């Protein structure tokens, strides 16, 4: 079979959620971010696993994702939508019982007019300048908005993966300034914020990348293994080039394995000539450019070329691969393509 195999350990996702849940006080609820189709690992399966682990608050990016997660979970858990209540979203929000995080006075007015009494939350901008009401806008609507009983008031940290960055303390102080004294539950911390410690936890945390084995949660259990079949092995002589653009040239006689995956499968071209694949614990350099359907790998140092090589495995997690490609683990995970034969292990509940 020429299809690469993507193995996903649902028990590891549950274990990572429990570990991040234990990282905060029992009075703090721990939610789960399952946007981008569960970071590329299938939101429905991931959300059901996390619900069985104990998560009762889920977060998605857009309403369409929320509808899919509601279909997977059924009634009960809260499904919160970061993009808020956009024009045209009303029917889906009501039908799937979603909770939009309202990002502006306009969204607040739209929601309360279209769905009076329907749950909502508020998102504030504390310095990231991305989503949420800024201080002046919040001051103008806060009294009225709070009188409508929002479920949560939240913000998001820009630099939580850098514990010493001054923006963390600045955003924490701004969040306090904007929200101290309110009786509504508050949320500031995603994975990185949880690891910054108790001052950032408030009433609800929202772990995302850490659930899937990514930094900055260094203690995370690995979640994915990507094994790519070897289609062909050929000898190469010193001085011969490999792949498009002749960008890799053999420095000695050796062997090249051609593997069945490429950028059509989400293996970004920035990995070219930089990433490693693994035969067990033995690293094998990617030789030449990533092409649409194929990788070429230097295997001249192996005594035996196995039927497949691993790109993601215990020897190389998403962040180590991301470092080689000059990106972040989020991009590696969410780029994993649809041609893989996916295998889910664990969480048989």
Contact (Cβ atoms closer than 8 angstroms) between residue 241 and residue 276: no
Q: Has residue 349 got a pLDDT over 60?
A: no
175-178 long-range Cβ contacts below 8 angstroms, 24+ apart: 175/124, 175/126, 177/135, 178/124, 178/126, 178/135, 178/138
Residue in the block written with tokens 């995080």: 101
167/236 same-domain check: no
275/206 same-domain check: no
Q: Has residue 209 got a pLDDT over 60?
A: yes
55/176 same-domain check: yes
Can you give the pTM of this predicted structure? 0.94
Q: pLDDT tens digit string along 5-27?
A: 999 999 999 999 999 999 999 89
Question: 212 an active-site residue?
Answer: no
8 domain-assigned = no
Name the percent of the chain lying above pLDDT 90: 97
205/272 same-domain check: no
154 domain-assigned = yes
38/155 same-domain check: yes
Distance CA 126, CA 155 (A): 7
**Sequence-separated (6 or more) residues with CB below 8 Å from residue 119:** 78, 97, 99, 151
Where a domain ends, among 212, 234, 251? Answer: 212
207/230 same-domain check: no
Number of domains observed in the structure of the chain: 2
Cβ burial of 49 (10 Å; 0-12, 13-18, 19+) is buried
Quickly state the pLDDT bin for 123 (edges 50, 70, 90). Answer: very high
Q: Has residue 348 got a pLDDT over 70?
A: no
Mean pLDDT in residue range 200-224: 97
196/312 same-domain check: no
Q: What is the pLDDT of residue 2?
A: 79
Q: Active site residue: 39, 200, 212, 244, which one?
A: 244
162 domain-assigned = yes
Q: Has residue 140 got a pLDDT over 60?
A: yes
314/248 same-domain check: yes
153/275 same-domain check: no
Quickly state the pLDDT bin for 346 (edges 50, 70, 90). Answer: confident
Distance CA 132, CA 123 (A): 5
106 domain-assigned = yes
Name the percent of the chain lying above pLDDT 70: 99
265/289 same-domain check: yes
Instruction: Respond yes or no on whether the N-terminal peptide bond of residue 152 is cis (omega within 30° of 0).
Output: no
Q: Has residue 1 got a pLDDT over 90?
A: no
Indicate which CATH number applies to the domain containing 288: 2.40.37.10
9 domain-assigned = no
Residue in the block written with tokens 């979203």: 89
171 domain-assigned = yes
24 domain-assigned = no
DSSP annotation of 117 = T
58/151 same-domain check: yes
Where a domain ends, among 188, 212, 236? Answer: 212
Contact (Cβ atoms closer than 8 angstroms) between residue 174 and residue 193: no
Structural domain range at position 202:
31-212
Q: What is the pLDDT of residue 347?
A: 72
Instruction: Tell me what the pLDDT averaged over the chain comes to.
Output: 96
Indicate which CATH number applies to the domain containing 168: 3.20.20.10
Mean pLDDT in residue range 302-323: 96
SS3 302: coil
Q: pLDDT tens digit string along 154-177?
A: 999 999 999 999 999 999 999 999
Q: Active site residue: 35, 39, 200, 263, which one?
A: 35
Q: pLDDT tens digit string along 92-110?
A: 999 999 999 999 999 999 9
239 domain-assigned = yes
Where a domain ends, among 191, 212, 233? Answer: 212
Distance CA 6, CA 42 (A): 12
Strands (E), the chain: 5-9, 29-30, 32-33, 57-60, 78-81, 99-102, 121-123, 153-154, 186-187, 204-205, 224-236, 241-242, 248-249, 254-259, 276-279, 282-285, 295-298, 308-312, 341-345
153/229 same-domain check: no
DSSP annotation of 251 = S
Q: pLDDT tens digit string along 43-96?
A: 999 999 999 999 999 999 999 999 999 999 999 999 999 999 999 999 999 999
Question: 244 an active-site residue?
Answer: yes
Structure token pair of residue 239: 């001085």
Q: Has residue 280 got a pLDDT over 90?
A: yes
């Amino acid at each position: 079979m020429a299809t690469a195999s993507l193995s996903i350990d649902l028990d590891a996702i549950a274990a990572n959620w429990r570990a991040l849940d234990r990282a905060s006080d029992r009075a703090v609820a721990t939610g789960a971010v399952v946007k981008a189709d569960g970071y590329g690992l299938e939101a429905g399966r991931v959300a059901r696993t996390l619900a069985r682990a104990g998560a009762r608050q889920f977060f998605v990016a857009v309403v369409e994702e929320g509808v899919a997660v509601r279909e997977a979970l059924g009634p009960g858990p809260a499904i919160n939508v970061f993009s808020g209540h956009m024009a045209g979203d009303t029917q889906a929000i009501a039908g799937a019982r979603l909770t939009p995080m309202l990002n502006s006075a306009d969204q607040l007015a739209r929601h309360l007019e279209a769905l009076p009494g329907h749950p909502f939350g508020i998102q504030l901008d504390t310095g990231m300048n991305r989503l949420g009401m800024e201080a002046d806008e919040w001051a103008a609507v806060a009294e009225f908005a709070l009188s409508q009983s929002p479920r949560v008031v939240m913000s998001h940290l820009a630099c939580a993966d850098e514990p010493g960055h001054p923006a963390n303390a600045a955003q924490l102080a701004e969040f306090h300034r904007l929200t101290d004294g309110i009786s509504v539950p508050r949320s500031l911390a995603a994975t990185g914020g949880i690891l910054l410690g108790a001052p950032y936890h408030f009433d609800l945390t929202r772990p995302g990348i850490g659930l899937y084995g990514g930094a900055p949660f260094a203690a995370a259990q690995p979640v994915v293994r990507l094994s790519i079949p070897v289609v062909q092995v050929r000898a190469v002589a010193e001085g011969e080039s490999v792949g498009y653009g002749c960008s890799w040239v053999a420095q000695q006689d050796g062997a090249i394995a051609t593997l069945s995956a490429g950028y059509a499968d989400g293996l970004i071209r920035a990995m070219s000539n930089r990433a490693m694949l693994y035969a067990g614990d033995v690293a094998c350099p990617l030789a030449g450019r990533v092409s649409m359907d194929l990788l070429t790998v230097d295997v001249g140092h192996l005594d035996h070329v196995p039927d497949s090589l691993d790109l993601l495995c215990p020897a190389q997690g998403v962040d180590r691969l991301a470092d080689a490609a000059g990106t972040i683990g989020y991009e590696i995970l969410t780029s994993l393509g649809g041609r893989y034969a996916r295998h889910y292990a664990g969480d048989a509940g």
